[in-house]
A and B are shown apart, each in its own frame.
Chain A
Amino acid sequence: MALRMWASSTANALRVSCASKAHVSPAFSLSRCFSSVLDGLKYATSHEWVKHEGSVATIGITDHAQDHLGEVVFVEIPEPGGSVSKGNGFGAVESVKATSDVNSPISGEVVEVNSKLSEAPGLINSSPYEDGWMIKVKPSNPSELESLMGPKEYTKFCEEEDAAH
């Protein structure tokens, strides 16, 4: 079983201290203030994860990302056979009237896509690291994985990003 590390996600508790009106965020249960970060995965600064197993890498968006997006209502992913390149968009997710581009952490050929996402886009929210996976890629340059963040680094990155307001 993957060891789970818990990171604080302060954006959900964000308060607008400089505005004249206090804004109360919709109620969240305490557990939602902490996004999960899994061992064994690599992470991009744009909040995608990669799981490299043998010749295939699976890519999705992190728990932190799905939490900040809100309920996903639509997912756009490429067809198998296309290619992706590191740092460039390969698809998008829509939530709360916002379409957010999803970028690939690595380059390679798309060998499989998660077709369940067209009928069940909410899988990205309920299971971002498992059933909500987005694409599987044959990496063309496996050394790209080394420049990605590990779980500890990514956890710290999220904390710093959420504190930046």
Chain B
Amino acid sequence: MRVPRSLEVWKMGTVNYLDALKLQDKLISRRKTHKISDTVLSLQHPPTYTLGKRRTDHNLLVPESDLKTIGAELHYTQRGGDITFHGPHQAILYPIISLRDIGLGARNYVEKLELTMIELASLYGVKARAGGVGETGVWVGERKIGAIGVRISSGITSHGLAFNIDPDLNYFKHIVPCGIADKEVTSLRRETDLVLPTEEVIHEQLISCFARLFCFSDLIWKEDAPILPDNGEAE
């Protein structure tokens, strides 16, 4: 018997990376103590480079000081994965969900995140696939269209996936993306001949693919959700 599961969806527009991190930390504690149900943040970041727990900064090809001149920030995080870039026109989902409630481990969770992006790409006739061993992410041929970097703390997820709708791919030239050299980065715009709808539509499609793959039966949409104030209570 499947218990109906609801997902709260926060549609947030453009959010600074650190603000999103602080919000996720708050939501993780609330999810751990069952004050909130499973939640997903849907957003994009201003130009931002991030590193994972392994701090692989040898994969940043320019001095950190140069990043400021190109209008980008750099952040070190606790997520898995290597260096990556986030920016405008890249759809991000940060699910804050309890894997224990659905009996999923890290590997199956990441596979489903890959599938989420693969299904979205297929809506536009783009045949994407999951990466092989050591190449987690979503690929079209030998070109990477979607990246994953996740943190799991006491069974609660944070960070998540980033899908390239039409970001400025030049930003990726300053890094070895995900630590994988000699492989290109691509975008939905590049891979499909179809005219793309507004990005809001694509974000909603990404959320629907996610919700379906994770068997959420009810979606509760929160538009223009504000960052939680420091006193910690939601509106």
Measured CB to CB, the closest approach of chain A to B217, in angstroms, equals 8
Of the candidates B81, B134, B215, which one forms a contact with A165 in the assembled complex, judged by CB atoms under 8 Å apart? B215
Segment touching A, from B60-68, B149-157, B187-195: B149-157
Interface residue B205 (Cβ < 8 Å from any Cβ of A):
no
* Contact indicator A97/B215 (Cβ below 8 Å): no
Please, what's the 1-or-0 string for A18-30, where 1 marks a CB less than 8 Å from any CB in chain B? 1111010100000
Interface residue A11 (Cβ < 8 Å from any Cβ of B):
yes
Interface residue A113 (Cβ < 8 Å from any Cβ of B):
no
* Contact indicator B103/A96 (Cβ below 8 Å): no
Measured in the bound complex, the distance between the Cα atoms of B81 and A89 in whole Å is: 20
Measured CB to CB, the closest approach of chain A to B127, in angstroms, equals 13
Please, what's the 1-or-0 string for B137-149, where 1 marks a CB less than 8 Å from any CB in chain A? 1000000000011
Measured CB to CB, the closest approach of chain B to A94, in angstroms, equals 5
Name the residue of chain B whose CB is nearest to the CB of A9: B105
* Contact indicator B106/A16 (Cβ below 8 Å): no
* Contact indicator B110/A96 (Cβ below 8 Å): yes
- Known pairs A96-B80, A97-B136, A97-B137; A11 contacts B104 (CB<8 A): yes
Interface residue B212 (Cβ < 8 Å from any Cβ of A):
yes
- Known pairs A14-B108, A68-B108; A97 contacts B80 (CB<8 A): yes
Measured CB to CB, the closest approach of chain B to A118, in angstroms, equals 11
Measured CB to CB, the closest approach of chain A to B169, in angstroms, equals 21
Chain B interface bracket (under 10, 10 to 19, 20 to 34, 35 or more): 35 or more
Chain B residues in 8 Å Cβ range of A97: 52, 79-81, 110, 136-137, 148-150
Measured CB to CB, the closest approach of chain B to A104, in angstroms, equals 12
* Contact indicator B119/A21 (Cβ below 8 Å): yes
* Contact indicator B213/A69 (Cβ below 8 Å): no
Interface residue A98 (Cβ < 8 Å from any Cβ of B):
yes
Interface residue B102 (Cβ < 8 Å from any Cβ of A):
yes
- Known pairs A46-B155, A71-B133, A92-B53; A98 contacts B215 (CB<8 A): no
Of the candidates B102, B110, B137, B154, which one forms a contact with A98 in the assembled complex, judged by CB atoms under 8 Å apart? B110
Name the residue of chain B whose CB is nearest to the CB of A10: B103
Chain B residues in 8 Å Cβ range of A25: 108, 111
Measured in the bound complex, the distance between the Cα atoms of B106 and A46 in whole Å is: 13
Measured in the bound complex, the distance between the Cα atoms of B171 and A106 in whole Å is: 46
* Contact indicator B150/A16 (Cβ below 8 Å): no
Contacts from B to A (Cβ < 8 Å): 2, 52-54, 78-81, 100-112, 115, 119, 133-134, 136-137, 148-155, 212-213, 215
Contacts from A to B (Cβ < 8 Å): 10-11, 14, 16, 18-21, 23, 25, 46, 65, 67-71, 73-74, 76, 89, 92, 94-101, 103, 161-165
